[in-house]
Structure 1
Amino acid sequence: MKYEQSDALVDRLELLRAYGYGLCMGTADALPGVSGGTVALLLGFYGRLIAAVTALTPWRAAAVLRGYRPDRRTKAREALLEMDLGFLLPLGVGIATAVVIVADAVSSLAQSHPVAMFGFFTGLIAASAITLGRSLTIASPAHVAAAVTGAGLALLVAADVVSLPGSGPIVIVLAGAIAVSAMILPGISGSLILILLGQYVFLSSELSAFVHALGALPGGGSLAAVTAPGTTVVLFIVGGTTGLLTIARVVRIALDRRRELTLVFLVSLIAGSVPAPLTNIAETHAWTTETITLTAVWAAIGAIALFGLEYLVGGFEPE
Structure 2
Amino acid sequence: MQWRNLYRGFFMGISDLIPGVSGGTIAFILGIYDELLASISGFFSRNWKKQIGFLLPLGIGIVVALLSLSRVIEYLLENHHVPTQFFFLGLIIGVIPFIAKQADAKKNFKAGHILLIVVIGVLLASTAFIKPLDSTPITELTSSNAIGLFFAGWAGSMAMLLPGISGSFVLLLLGVYSTAIGALSNLNLPIIAVIGAGVIVGFIVSSKVISFLLSNFTYVTFAAIIGLIIGSIVVIFPGIPTGGASIIISIVTFVAGFIVAKLFSSPNKTSIG
Letter of the 2:153 counterpart: G
Out of 81, 85, 89, the residue aligned to residue 49 of structure 2 is 81
Match of 2:262 in 1: 310
Out of 31, 35, 43, the residue aligned to residue 41 of structure 1 is 31
Match of 1:7 in 2: none
Query: Which stretches of structure 1, 4 residues or more, deviate above 6 A after TM superposition?
Result: none
Aligned partners of 2:47 and 2:263: how far apart in 1? 41
User: Is 1:290 paired with 2:243?
Assistant: yes
User: Is 1:237 paired with 2:196?
Assistant: yes
- Taking only the aligned residue pairs, the percentage that are identical comes to 17
Q: How do 1:1-319 and structure 2 match up within 5 A?
A: 14=1, 17-18=2-3, 20-31=4-15, 32=21, 35-38=25-28, 41=31, 47=35, 49-57=36-44, 81=49, 84-85=51-52, 87-134=54-101, 135-137=104-106, 139-160=109-130, 165-166=133-134, 173=150, 176-181=153-158, 183=160, 188=163, 192-195=166-169, 198=172, 203=177, 206=179, 209-214=182-187, 226=188, 230-231=190-191, 233-278=192-237, 281=238, 289-290=242-243, 294=246, 297-298=249-250, 301-311=253-263, 314-315=266-267, 319=272
- What SS class does the counterpart of residue 105 from structure 2 fall into? coil
Structure 1 201/27 Cα, relative in aligned 2: closer, same or farther at 3 Å?
Answer: farther
Q: Is the contact made by 1:179 and 1:240 (CA closer than 8 Å) also made in structure 2? A: yes
Q: Deviations over 1:241-299 (max 9, x none)?
A: 11111122111111101111111111111111112123xx57xxxx77439x8357515
Q: Is the contact made by 1:181 and 1:247 (CA closer than 8 Å) also made in structure 2? A: yes
Aligned partners of 1:86 and 1:198: how far apart in 2? 33
The CA deviation at 1:303 is 3.8
Output the aligned Cα RMSD: 3.8
The CA deviation at 1:238 is 2.3
Aligned partners of 1:210 and 1:29: how far apart in 2? 15
Letter of the 1:52 counterpart: S
List gaps (5 residues or longer) in structure 2: 16-20, 139-144
Q: Deviations over 1:115-151 (max 9, x none)?
A: 2222322333233334433552373232123112210
- What SS class does the counterpart of residue 274 from structure 1 fall into? helix
Letter of the 2:154 counterpart: A
Aligned partners of 1:154 and 1:257: how far apart in 2? 24
Aligned partners of 2:119 and 2:95: how far apart in 1? 19
Q: Deviations over 1:292-314 (max 9, x none)?
A: x8357515522443334424653
Letter of the 1:210 counterpart: A
Aligned partners of 1:38 and 1:288: how far apart in 2? 28
Aligned residue pair count: 253
Aligned partners of 2:97 and 2:249: how far apart in 1? 18
Aligned partners of 1:175 and 1:299: how far apart in 2? 35
Q: Is the contact made by 1:54 and 1:245 (CA closer than 8 Å) also made in structure 2? A: yes
Letter of the 1:149 counterpart: V
Structure 1 140/270 Cα, relative in aligned 2: closer, same or farther at 3 Å?
Answer: same
List gaps (5 residues or longer) in structure 1: 1-13, 61-77, 215-225
Aligned partners of 2:7 and 2:124: how far apart in 1? 29
Larger Rg: 1
Aligned partners of 1:267 and 1:124: how far apart in 2? 14
Aligned partners of 1:184 and 1:235: how far apart in 2? 19
